[in-house]
A and B are shown apart, each in its own frame.
Chain A
Amino acid sequence: MITMNHYLILSGILFAIGLVGVVRRKNLLMLFFATEIMLNAANIAFAAVSSYYHDLTGQMFAFFIIAVAASEVAVGLGLLILLYKKYGTINIDDFTIMKG
């Protein structure tokens, strides 16, 4: 029997994986991949809870998360392209002028 907790734990693990990606990645593009993973992890949780509670709110939330993810991709990639055009790199280590 797969309970809600199974899905939630899966969601949690995926979230952690996403987090690993976020803190590990220096390449911004691949870092964005990791944020997608985190959002998707939440989606799984929402869908699962929604299913087990027979409540559609979770699916709504997941739906909006997908929308937000898409928007973020648009803006994020816009920024990346801008950076790449200007500086020829999208490596985090190359953007460290402002510190202290």
Chain B
Amino acid sequence: MEKYVYIALFAPLVGSLFAALFSQRPKALITGVVTSTLLFVSFVASVILLNHVSQVGAVHVTMMDWIQAGDMSIPFGFNIDQVTAVMMTVVTLVSTVVHVYSNGYMDHDKGFNRFFSYLSAFVFSMMVLVMSDNFLGLFIGWEGVGVCSWLLIGFWYHKADVTRDVNPSISPSWAANEAFIMNRVADLGMLVGIFLIYWNIGSLQYADVFAAVPSMDHGMLVTIGIFLFIGAMGKSAQFPLHTWLADAMEGPTPVSALIHAATMVTAGVYLVIRANPLYSAIPEVSYFIAVLGTFVAIFAASMALVNRDLKRIIAYSTLSQLGYMFAAAGLGAYWVALFHLAAHAFFKALLFLGAGNVMHAMDDELDIFKMGGLKKAMRWTYLYMGLASLALAGIWPLAGFFSKDTILEVAFNEHTYGIWLILWFTAGLTAFYSFRQVFLTFTGDERYKPLGFHPHEVPKYVLWAMSPLALLAVIFGWYKDEFVAFITHFLPTYEMSEHTEHFVVILTVVTTAIALSGIVFAWFRYSKGLKRSAKVEQSLPYRILSNQYYIPILYENVFSKPYAALSHAFWEEIDQQVVDATVDGIATAIKDGGDSSRKIQTGNLSDYLKLMSGGALVLVALVLFAAMQN
């Protein structure tokens, strides 16, 4: 089995390096083909491993030593257990689809080869993240995906910075930096968590760490849990580190699909799931995670309500869904979180890829107010996006229904009715904004026509490439029971209480009802075309939401600008005016001392004699002190 581990892991890397060889050449289709093929190979290996894990059990390999210093010993070790296998399969599957899709999507881009190199490198990092058997290995992947994300968000680095009014993300390179730096903030928390683990347990291997959890001081566990979760918050863009995700939509759409929807952003969820023995031991932290997740769910959904940017809406919905996952994980339903993670990966990637199709058709125009009626030109895309949106809204029998509904049940089951209520309400919002987007894009009047767009459907094979996702978005939920059976070999089972079982039908109905009502409301509001109301758009809530609660501006004014101002002050006021000036001041003082003491040297002999006599007088006058002492 070891070789499949390595194949699954390194195939993307090989692809990436292969593509890198061509990075400065003009577009070569071979890079796309080779990377996609290798990704497929990786996917196959992952599936084989998944099968193996389900049949035989976990696979563990140690490739080689990495860091060994003092008592710290960190190998490149890979552990393929149920969670990993699921993650690997999801990642490689979505990646393969996105790779194939990108062959079409990036067709005319100058950086075609470079793109595939980055994208495969990302998959490699993601595989390291999920496969590693220790926290530092996870951190490698963690940072690796961060860098790839940086590269890919900033893929069109040549675009100039513009103001926030023109583009809320300012520029791809700005967004890339924002993402990277914000992630770094969280990574610091993660590092601190890792240090805490090391110095308290003496090892970073998952096996050792989780074995030690029961015997550890509770306070310490809480601290570790908090810091690890800070890391997760960054990668999964949880409040208050969420702003980068929406800005990250500056990257090419396949990137958004793969990284900022399906895989990387779920790494935080993965971490919490992975560390479930730890979080199970600290319910207070877990509860906080759940509350935060819930908050992010509604918070992000609210921003999606009014947004006009096709991709940003999806990004907010991703954010919102991540909140759902954290809520589930925080409530102890780890497998539910993982299930939603996987389901979400499929339908959200599909949604993004659909958005990519639309962008392609609309010459990269993203404003849904400028679209409408695209369904004529883009029937399949409409179908895919509709499907994905239905799944997102949680409509039976699509995947989202099963996963999201379970989360709500969990919330109910835990007697955290507040969480349940909010999540339930958010489900309605989700349905509304998803379909607001779908309807504004695909139905109603063709607002793009006056603007001179000539939309067209994407090539066939691109549509084919998307089909696995579509399929999974539909059927994945049907395999819930198999999934549970498989995953609970590793993750703790989550049993609904009798009380909940009692209500489960009602809950399902209620949830479906609000989702449907959201869709219906969107239908009435938008399916006939765009009806803008200046009054609504001028209203305070609308403005708050469309400005993302003014949080980016707040961050700019509270962090970025003061940081820059403080930096300049440190440099100009302190470093130059105080520190360096002190040094130079000492030097100048010595030199001035020289200048003033050289005045002694008048050149006039008489002065010299006076000085000499004066010196002699001082010396001889010392006897007066001696005389006084006697």
Contacts and interface: CB of A to CB of B under 8 A. Distances in A.
**A–B direct touch, CB within 8 Å, in complex?**
yes
Interface of A: 19, 22-23, 25-26, 92-93, 95-100
Contact of B603 (A19, A23, A100): A100
Nearest to B610: A23
Given A19-B613, A22-B613, A23-B613, A99 B602 contact: yes
18 contacts: A19-B613, A22-B609, A23-B606, A23-B609, A23-B610, A25-B606, A26-B606, A92-B604, A92-B606, A93-B604, A93-B606, A95-B603, A96-B602, A96-B604, A99-B601, A99-B603, A99-B604, A100-B603
9 nearest CB pairs, A to B: A99-B603, A96-B603, A92-B605, A92-B606, A23-B610, A96-B604, A100-B598, A23-B609, A23-B613
Contacts, number: 29
A92 B602 CA distance: 12
A79 B609 CA distance: 18
A56 B610 CA distance: 35
Contacts of A22: 609, 613
A10 to B, nearest CB: 18
Nearest to A22: B609
A26 B608 CA distance: 12
Contacts of B613: 19, 22-23
Q: Point out which of B598, B605, B606, B610 has the most chain A C-beta atoms below 10 A from its C-beta.
A: B606
Contacts of A98: 603
Nearest to B616: A19
A25 B607 CA distance: 11
Given A93-B604, A99-B604, A100-B601, 17 more contacts: A19-B613, A23-B609, A23-B613, A25-B606, A26-B606, A92-B604, A92-B605, A92-B606, A93-B606, A95-B603, A96-B603, A96-B605, A97-B603, A98-B603, A99-B602, A99-B603, A100-B603
A35 B602 CA distance: 22
Interface of B: 598, 601-606, 609-610, 613
B292 to A, nearest CB: 75
Nearest to A97: B603
A97 B604 CA distance: 9
A contact patch SS: loop
A25 B609 CA distance: 10
Contacts of B609: 22-23
Nearest to B606: A92
Contacts of A19: 613
Contacts of B603: 95-100
Nearest to B617: A19
B75 to A, nearest CB: 72
A12 to B, nearest CB: 10
A99 B604 CA distance: 8
A72 to B, nearest CB: 15
A98 B613 CA distance: 21
A67 to B, nearest CB: 24
Contacts of B602: 96, 99
Nearest to B611: A23
A23 B607 CA distance: 8
A98 B598 CA distance: 12
A95 B613 CA distance: 20
A19 B606 CA distance: 12
A35 to B, nearest CB: 10
A100 to B, nearest CB: 5
B598 A95 contact: no
Contacts of B610: 23
A99 B602 CA distance: 5
B376 to A, nearest CB: 95
A22 B614 CA distance: 12
A98 to B, nearest CB: 5
Contacts of A26: 606
Contacts of A25: 606
A14 to B, nearest CB: 15
B555 to A, nearest CB: 61
A69 B609 CA distance: 19
A95 B605 contact: yes
Nearest to B603: A99
A54 B7 CA distance: 114
A19 B612 CA distance: 11
A100 B605 CA distance: 13
A98 B605 CA distance: 10
Contacts of B598: 100
Contacts of B606: 23, 25-26, 92-93
A25 B598 CA distance: 23
B420 to A, nearest CB: 90
A36 to B, nearest CB: 15
B38 to A, nearest CB: 80
Contacts of A23: 606, 609-610, 613
Contacts of A100: 598, 601, 603
Contacts of A97: 603
A51 to B, nearest CB: 25
B593 to A, nearest CB: 14
Contacts of B604: 92-93, 96, 99
A97 B601 CA distance: 11
